Amino acid sequence: MPILLKEVVPLGRTLREYELMFALTEADRTKKILGCGDGPASFNAEWTARGGSVISVDPIYEFSGPQIRERFDAVIDDIIANVEATQDRWVWGFQQNPQGLRANRVAAMDRFLADYEAGQSERRYQVAELPTLPFINGAFDLALCSHLLFLYSHLLSIEFHLASLLELYRVAKEVRIFPLLDMVGNKSEHLDPLRLALEQEGIETVVENVDYEFQKGGNQMLRASYEKTRQTD
């Protein structure tokens, strides 16, 4: 289904945030990574610059850089104002304060846009969307999905979540999802039923604490890997 840019909030995170959210390690550096729903995160640009291998998919990549920037400029003031009005819902560690948050989001957008055209011609940014991805089975070592699944639980059904997890697990040997909270900061209603449904499919998942917390209580990721699943066979 085609998306309308006015329906999307194109906010992106930096490589440092991805490292913390997904507990990326030295061993992950040589992996073939899929960034699902990366939007205007600077993860792809920065990871590639370090010699890493990553393909990002997102429906917003059908739009041009200036169009994505225009949408970002149209929403960022309201988002920062909203965060300022609800300061007790956030942990001011990494982001420091609302202006620090804005600076991080602007830095990610600038870095993304500087890389976007080159990345498109290298097929590092591809238009695609869950729950169906245009990759063969096991094409990636690791799939990362930040601030899409669970966060939008009010819009995305349990069926969508299950189909998406199975699809990510089809194309990658390991899947990591962050955060596990919904938009208002509660544990996603889909988390437990989804884990149960995956278990019934023979896929073991683990919830792990990570060193990143911006939404209060949002310091956990979900990991599903062939290795873990095999260990429990």
Ligand X SMILES: C[S@@+](CC[C@H](N)C(=O)[O-])C[C@H]1O[C@@H](n2cnc3c(N)ncnc32)[C@H](O)[C@@H]1O
Binding site residues, ligand X, CB under 6 A = 8-13, 36-39, 41, 58-60, 129-130, 146-148
φ, ψ dihedrals at 188, nearest 5°: -60, 135
Q: Which is nearer to ligand X, 7 or 227 (CB)?
A: 7
Q: How far is the CB of 59 from ligand X (least distance, A)?
A: 5
Q: Which two tokens stand for residue 59?
A: 């429906």
Closest approach, Cβ 191 to ligand X, in A, equals 18
Token duo for residue 84 = 């300022």
Nearest to 17 by CA among 152, 223, 212, 220: 212
**What span, in angstroms and rounded, lies between the C-alpha atoms of 232 and 202?**
9
Q: With respect to ligand X, which residue has the nearer C-beta, 194 or 204?
A: 194
Give the CB-nearest residue to ligand X: 39
Shortest reach from residue 113's CB to ligand X, in Å: 14
d(CA 162, CA 222): 13
Which is nearer to ligand X, 44 or 205 (by Cβ)?
A: 44
Q: What DSSP element (H or E) covers 207?
A: strand 205-209
Which of 46/129 has CB closer to ligand X? Answer: 129
The distance of Cα 214 from the centroid of its chain, to the nearest Å, equals 14
Q: C-beta of 164: minimal distance to ligand X in Å? A: 7
Output the smallest distance, CB 230 to ligand X, in A.
Answer: 28
Nearer to ligand X, 41 or 221 (CB): 41
Cα angle for residues 92, 95, 98 (degrees, 5° grid): 80
Residue 4: exposure state from Cβ atoms within 10 A (0-12, 13-18, ≥19): exposed
Smallest gap from residue 132 Cβ to ligand X (A): 9
156: its two tokens: 């995305």
Residue closer to ligand X (CB basis): 60 or 224: 60
